[in-house]
Chains A and B, each alone.
Chain A
Amino acid sequence: MSSSSTEQAQGTVAVEMPQMGVSVAEGTLTVWHKHVGDHVDRDEIICEVSTDKIDTDVPSPAAGSIVELLVEEEKTVPVGTALAVIAVEGGGGGEPAAAADAPAADAPAPAHAPASGNGTANGSHASFHSPVAQRLAAAHGIDLATVKGTGRGGRVRKQDVLAAAESGRASGSSAAPAAAEPSAPSAGVSEPLSRMRRAIAEHMTRSLHTAAHCTTIIEADFSRVERERAPIGCSPLPLVARAVVAALRAHPALNSTLEGDSLTRHEDVNLGIAVSLGERGLIVPVIHRAQELSAEGLAARIAELARRARADELTADDVRGGTFTITNPGGFGSIASTPIINQPQVGILDLEAVVKRPVAIVDDAGGDAIAVRPMAYLCLSWDHRALDGALAAQFLATLRGVLEGKEVGDDPIGRTAAP
């Protein structure tokens, strides 16, 4: 990720909001590390910016001194907006630069007097919301105060609301913050939700309002998974991930996204893996083209994505394009959950704790017996708009078959034949 810059007159250079992924349109300036007058070296970090999910540092494009900071902390501006002006060393004596483009979000809202002879608008200003803007915002659950207006004086126009709704759909980003905090009934410290929590809140609530959630649970014998994972030295997750890929290939209706009335079946399995960031929240990096990876390959990718997620090194593209998601809270001992679908996907598989349980089996002599086996519940939340319960159950049965080694044909997770 490189910071972009624009050559300015008088030996100055503007630092711009960087592009943090192909489909990212704006970013929030989180903190300035430099003040006006400070000297910066080339590539020295001058500020931090973030999207709803990704944080990054902005390096200085040149050595020099800061002439002007154009964007306040916590302001969200479009990609390419000038953030600061730097007088380049030996480039013109640090004269104040001709103001770079003022960021639109900060533009004051001048009252506008229409000039047309027959009279056009009444005085318009940013806080006036037209009937259609209000109606569309209500329909899409958008708080107009959070939408950046491009109309006269910063007024939010119809196209701004539609764009906000569109970007909310496309990225699951926080088009609207969480609803107003309820007043605290008892003593306590209130603080606003973090950006990540707001994004999670918005996304989860929207998913519950959007999808017809159903959860189907199947129990699987993990004896074979436990046996196979030992040589790889990993948790059950990569083997389950590999089995999920195989089951999705057998039931492609689950490897789909549903947006409005449009259901898209995907060729590639882009597998999202939920990674807990502790109190900070949760992020779902995506293993693109997971069908091309072995269980070992998946184990390596999962470990790498988890490390980068916790080190804030994910790019926006790392969290986009998922077609199915696995969440794995079982590491903490839970045995059943009803996960919320990661929109616009149609299914999410929850892998619960593998625990030893007494189970009824048929022994080698054909008689019923009770044995102790490592068992786990696999909980699949699925969208009843896109598919029906029979298919969800068939998918889980296939998944269990792969995990238990009962599937005929290709054995995606078995290693027994390896020398």
Chain B
Amino acid sequence: MPEMTYLQAIHDGLREELLADERVLVMGEDVGRFGGAFKVTDGLWDEFGAERVIDTPLAEAAIIGTAVGAAVVGMRPVCEMQFADFVACGFDQLVNVAGKMHYRQGLAVPITVRLPSGGGFGGGPFHSQNPEAWFMHAPGLKVVAPATAADAKGMLIGAIHDPNPVLFFEHKHLYRRVKGEVPPGREETPFRARVAREGRDLTVIAYGAMVWSALEATEDIDGASVEVIDLRSLVPLDEEAILASVAKTSKVVVIDEANATCAAGAQVAALIAERAFEDLDGPVVRVATPDAPIAFSPPLERALLPQADRIEEACRELLEY
């Protein structure tokens, strides 16, 4: 099985789908001739041509709106937002058009929107955000966020095959940092949670880059047995996996790289409060980015985003509770 970076795995997934299904097309700002701002689509323009790998204007509403129309008439478009932050410009097309099309008109909208998200590299307030929760709140959209190279490919393929609009949050900080064996072919990774590490004493729930921070932070907390759950999919949320882990450990730390208020972790905490109250042996603890824009200054950015030491401290506190 070939080893790939997270970025290569996404490229591989796009290429496999372009090869296998002529309905699949890629569109976005500089995704064609230039190969994408992060080079995810590098080489696809050469291989598949400008008809299927389409450079678009700097207009997210147009990109998504065009994709919705193409999807309704039978295509499988994959749009790239150059940075997830820019999706705000296409918000109406996603939330009011794509998300409600099936409800209003019975039409499937099989679009995939790739959103390079997350901070940790000094990108500042417009290039570092984790806007997953904006879309979790809107009915009709699926929201996924892989943490590993294999999942990045498998979930992208799952997103392209899915008849619903899927927002695919790929973490920029993982692009070239995470490597792993990636299966060849077009196998889908199901939109369900994954146990990244089994444990008995405490559960840490995270997704995206925070899965790696959680694993690092809990590698050795005085021998405590810490379970790490990688949510992988935020909508649908794998409630049974979360509840099963809480039933086992009775203590939970939920990590969000996103701003704390109404983040995905808030939904997880609410779920646990509602459905696992009698399993709890301590408060549900959240570690998240405060409700502030992401600072450009690296020291300030480090202070904002959950770091392994902050996660470890929260886990220690709860273990001792």
A residues lining the B interface (CB < 8 Å)? 114-122, 124, 130-135, 151-152, 155, 157-158
Contacts and interface: CB of A to CB of B under 8 A. Distances in A.
B278 A124 contact: no
A131 B285 contact: no
13 contacts: A115-B317, A116-B314, A120-B314, A120-B318, A120-B321, A121-B282, A122-B283, A130-B280, A131-B278, A131-B280, A132-B279, A133-B281, A152-B321
Contacts of A120: 283, 285, 314, 317-318, 321
A197 B260 CA distance: 56
B285 to A, nearest CB: 5
B281 A157 contact: yes
A121 B283 contact: yes
Nearest to B316: A116
A114 B277 CA distance: 21
A107 to B, nearest CB: 14
Interface in B247-292: 250, 260, 277-283, 285-288
Given A118-B288, A155-B321, A132 B250 contact: yes
A118 B281 contact: no
Nearest to B283: A121
Interface SS, B side: mixed
B282 to A, nearest CB: 6
A115 B285 CA distance: 12
Contacts of A122: 283
A139 to B, nearest CB: 10
Q: Name, among B282, B313, B317, B320, the residue most crowded by chain A CB atoms within 10 Å (CB to CB).
A: B282
B317 A118 contact: no
Contacts of A117: 310
A118 B321 contact: no
Contacts, number: 55
A134 B279 CA distance: 10
A372 B241 CA distance: 74
Interface of B: 250, 260, 277-283, 285-288, 310, 313-314, 317-318, 320-321
Contact of B281 (A115, A116, A119, A130): A130
B320 A158 contact: no
Given A116-B317, A120-B285, A121-B318, 20 more contacts: A114-B317, A116-B285, A117-B310, A118-B260, A118-B285, A118-B314, A120-B318, A120-B321, A121-B321, A122-B283, A124-B321, A130-B282, A131-B278, A131-B280, A132-B278, A132-B279, A132-B281, A157-B281, A157-B321, A158-B250
A131 B317 contact: no
Given A131-B277, A152-B320, A152-B321, A118 B286 contact: yes
Contacts of B283: 120-122
A117 B290 CA distance: 10
A311 B191 CA distance: 69
Nearest to A151: B321
Contact of A158 (B281, B288, B310, B317): B281
Contacts of B288: 118
Nearest to B288: A118
Contacts of A132: 250, 278-281
| Smallest CB-CB A-B distances: 7 pairs | A158-B281, A132-B281, A130-B281, A120-B317, A131-B278, A135-B278, A132-B250
Contacts of B250: 130, 132, 158
A323 to B, nearest CB: 32
Contacts of A151: 320-321
A155 B279 CA distance: 16
A116 B314 CA distance: 6
A134 to B, nearest CB: 8
Contacts of A114: 317
Nearest to A114: B317
Contacts of B313: 116
B265 to A, nearest CB: 10
A124 B285 CA distance: 14
Contacts of B318: 120-121
A206 to B, nearest CB: 23
A135 B250 CA distance: 12
Contacts of A158: 250, 281
Nearest to A160: B281
Contacts of B310: 117
Q: Name, among B279, B318, B320, the residue most crowded by chain A CB atoms within 10 Å (CB to CB).
A: B320
B87 to A, nearest CB: 27
A256 B317 CA distance: 45
A367 B32 CA distance: 114
Contacts of B314: 116, 118, 120
Contacts of B286: 118
Contacts of B279: 131-132, 135
A121 B318 CA distance: 8
Contacts of A115: 317
Contacts of A135: 278-279
B253 to A, nearest CB: 9
Contacts of A118: 260, 285-288, 314
A114 B281 CA distance: 16
A227 B192 CA distance: 77
A122 B318 CA distance: 11
A121 B281 contact: no
A280 B290 CA distance: 64
Nearest to A130: B281
Contacts of B320: 151-152
